[in-house]
Amino acid sequence: MAESESQEGNYYNWGKMVENIKTDMEELLEEMEKLTVRATWMTFDYTAIQTNPDLSNAMQHSEDVFLMCKEQMEKKWQEVLLE
């Protein structure tokens, strides 16, 4: 009895296990899909971030402006006097 019960329970559990597995798998699938979507989104974002030229341009511009400012500041007053 116990065996049958256990068997049944096992069978029942098996079914449940199967169902659980199915559901779990489905859930997993969904999650995987979601995750893939998110991964693609992330890759897109990363690429977008990495390929965003604004920062580099801004940095370049800032570097240029900094160099110009540095040049201006490095101009000695003597040159100004000479001027």
Partner 1 sequence: MNELFSKLYKEAEKIKQWKLTVETELNQKERKLQENKKTIEAQNKAIQELQFENENLHLKLEDEICENKDLLKEAAASRHLCNLLKETCTRFTEKTSKHEQEKAETIQLYEELHSNIERMTAAFEELRVQAENDRSEMSFKLKEEAEKVDKFEKECKLEVSQKEKQISALTIERDEKDDVIKDIKAQLQTSQNKIADLMEAKLHHEEMLKESQVSKEHLRAELEEAKMSLQKAEVTQKNLETELQTRVKTLIQVTGEKEEQEEECKKMKALLAALTEEFETSVANLKSLLQEEQNRLKKYEDDSKLLTLELQKKSAELEMTKVKCDKEVQLEELSETLKEFQDLKAQLTSTAEKEQDYLKQLVTLKTDLEQEALRNEQLTVYLSKLSLEKEQTAQEKNAVAAEVKKLQEQQEDSKKKEENTKQLVENLEEANSQLRNELESLKQKMAKTGEEMRSALDEREENMNNLKKQVENKTKCIEELQQENKVLPKKLTAESKKSNTYEGKVNKLQIEMEKMNKQHKEAADIYQKDIETRKGNENKLREENEYDKMVEEKDAELKVYKMKQQKQFSSARALENELSSLKSELASLKEQLKAEIEEKENLVKEHSHSMIPESEKKHKTYAIKTPPMDKMHSGRSTNLPSEQSSRKKQKVLVQLDTQSDSSEHTDLLSIVSEEEMFKNLYKDFPQASRLHSPAPKKLHPV
Tokens of 12: 């029942």
User: Taking the mean position of all CA atoms in its chain, how far away is CA 48?
Assistant: 11
Beta carbon of residue 61, minimum distance to partner 1 (angstroms, whole number): 6
CA pair distance 5, 13, nearest whole angstrom: 11
| Contact between 53 and partner 1 per CB under 8 A | no
Helices then strands, each counted (H, E), the chain: 3, 0
| Contact between 24 and partner 1 per CB under 8 A | yes
* Residues in touch with partner 1 (CB under 8 A): 10, 14, 17-18, 21, 24-25, 28, 31-32, 35, 38-39, 42, 45-46, 49, 52, 54-55, 58-59, 61-62, 65-66, 68-69, 72-73, 75, 77, 80-81, 83
